[in-house]
Copies of this chain bind each other. A is one copy, B any other.
Amino acid sequence: MLKRILVANRGEIACRILRACKEAEIESVAIFAANDAGTLFTELADIAIQLEGYGLAETYLNQQQILEIAVEQGCDSIHPGFGFLSERADFAQAVIDSGLIWIGPSPEAIAKMGDKITARIVMKEAGVPVIPGEEVDGGIEQIIAAAPSVGYPLLLKATAGGGGKGMRVVYDEADLETEAKAAMREAFNAFGDDRIYVEKLLTGSRHIEIQILADKSGRTIHLGERECSVQRRHQKVFEESPSVALDSELREAMGEAACAAARAVNYEGAGTVEFLVTPIGEFFFLEMNTRIQVEHPVTEMVTGVDLVREQLRIASGEPMSCGQLSMRGHAIEVRLYAEDPANNFLPAIGKLKRFVSPTGPGIRLDTGVRQGDEVTPDYDPMLAKLIVWAPSRKESLQRMARALDEFVILGCTTNVRFLRELCDHPDVVDGWTTTDMIERLWPEGWNPDMELSISSAGLLIASACESSNYGRIIQHSSGEVGKISPFSTINRRLP
């Protein structure tokens, strides 16, 4: 049984893990950079320790400092969440070498799956189909040399990568060098490793992944699929389970392949095997994510398994608690980003002056922020995840539409309206979700489908509020007294 866990992450996923610790009656230690002081996840920890330094490298990616805190605070284990150090085999090894439990798979498994080229080779050996491509070893010349045999359109991917960083689509040979350089730079900044390899771009495919769990007693199971085809800039925005594209036969074949992939690296804990599924039902191994996934809640809601709590059980040496699975209904997750979907999904910043989330049946909110928080450019723009469950896919889409209509966020531009329009877009309703869907539907960029009466209504509201001095809040708190004079407000009233 674990006694005290250090959560080496921030934001929404840190909240998720800290709550799981609380529920499992395990003490928790959060670490936070100075610019995260007072945010939600620091509240949910039993102990919150501020990291020294600035920038990711000195804080959330600072292995040495994090390990020192873990030891000083008497932790017996470290949960890395996703992103950051979660797929760093060297960190996993360092945690183990410090006498702590690493809540995740072995450093060997991480290393094999983390190096995308090694992973391709291991998977081929295990009989799992991989995407046609070239396992080049990085370097701009090698990429240029490999490209013709793969053919266009092709995809440049970071060997060390994940999460869309360092990933570029190239449609034309003329763009290859520029894009490859950009990909290498991004990869280097994100992973400290600029190796890039080349894969065929399988257009019109679906991104479908299988959640697996494996415990130390040797049991490896799959928990069905998640379809994450709706992506912008190679980052998922809309995820669901089950997928309309899978029948039980294909589901079992992919589940078996996922378990085979996990067994090939003696996997332990929660992991995800990602596949591309072509329109004719072929599937290809994309990569394995050796950590908890952003979109894990949809699997939790469909299977009723608490994946994070199972991670804690497995890490402590207990068998997983879930027996025969009973899958039920349909779950959808949308990722709430601080970004402007009408402007090529450019990240946005601001203060969340209003943040009123929907409630009621079938609604789950996994959030890293709450009203009053500041969205800064320092971190990933994902603010929260909204997940719904309903007995059927149709009801699930209807529930998501209802929930997004209720969601009020003022002070920072978000993708709420974009997500809302997805819910009743015919392609989504009919299940024609493919990885190139957003580019296909909105080749010139997305703009809200807004009747004139809406902007007219907004204008009426803005002008009425402006002319009547509505809703101006002057907060007199210890730090702010006197900063804002009420008279300046009154002076600006219009006749």
Binding site for B on A (CB under 8 A): 15-16, 19-20, 22-25, 44, 297, 300, 304-306, 308-309, 321-322, 326, 328-329, 356-357, 359-367, 370, 389-392, 395, 398-399, 401-402, 405-406, 468-478, 481, 486, 489-490
- CB of B361 within 8 A of CB of A25, answer no
A471-B477, A476-B474 known; A360 vs B356 contact (CB < 8 Å): no
- Pick the 8 closest A-B CB pairs, nearest first: A23-B398, A359-B365, A468-B478, A22-B402, A304-B328, A19-B360, A470-B478, A472-B476
Measured in the bound complex, the distance between the Cα atoms of B473 and A395 in whole Å is 42
User: What B residues does A297 contact at CB under 8 A?
Assistant: 361
User: What B residues does A306 contact at CB under 8 A?
Assistant: 361-362, 390-391, 395
Measured in the bound complex, the distance between the Cα atoms of B308 and A320 in whole Å is 35
Tell me the nearest residue of chain B to A309, going by C-beta: B395
User: What B residues does A405 contact at CB under 8 A?
Assistant: 22
Distance in Å: Cβ of A457 to nearest Cβ of chain B: 16
Q: A469 contacts which of B15, B364, B481 (Cβ < 8 Å)? A: B481
Q: A15 contacts which of B15, B360, B391, B474 (Cβ < 8 Å)? A: B360
Distance in Å: Cβ of A317 to nearest Cβ of chain B: 19
- CB of B481 within 8 A of CB of A476, answer no
- CB of A475 within 8 A of CB of B477, answer no
- CB of B469 within 8 A of CB of A477, answer yes
A-B contact pairs, 16 of them (CB 8 A): A16-B361, A304-B329, A305-B391, A306-B390, A306-B395, A308-B361, A359-B365, A359-B366, A360-B366, A361-B364, A469-B476, A469-B478, A473-B475, A474-B486, A476-B486, A476-B489
- CB of B356 within 8 A of CB of A366, answer no
Distance in Å: Cβ of A404 to nearest Cβ of chain B: 11
User: What B residues does A481 contact at CB under 8 A?
Assistant: 469, 486, 490
- CB of B361 within 8 A of CB of A367, answer no
Measured in the bound complex, the distance between the Cα atoms of B278 and A49 in whole Å is 52
Measured in the bound complex, the distance between the Cα atoms of B362 and A363 in whole Å is 9
Q: A25 contacts which of B24, B322, B365, B398 (Cβ < 8 Å)? A: B398
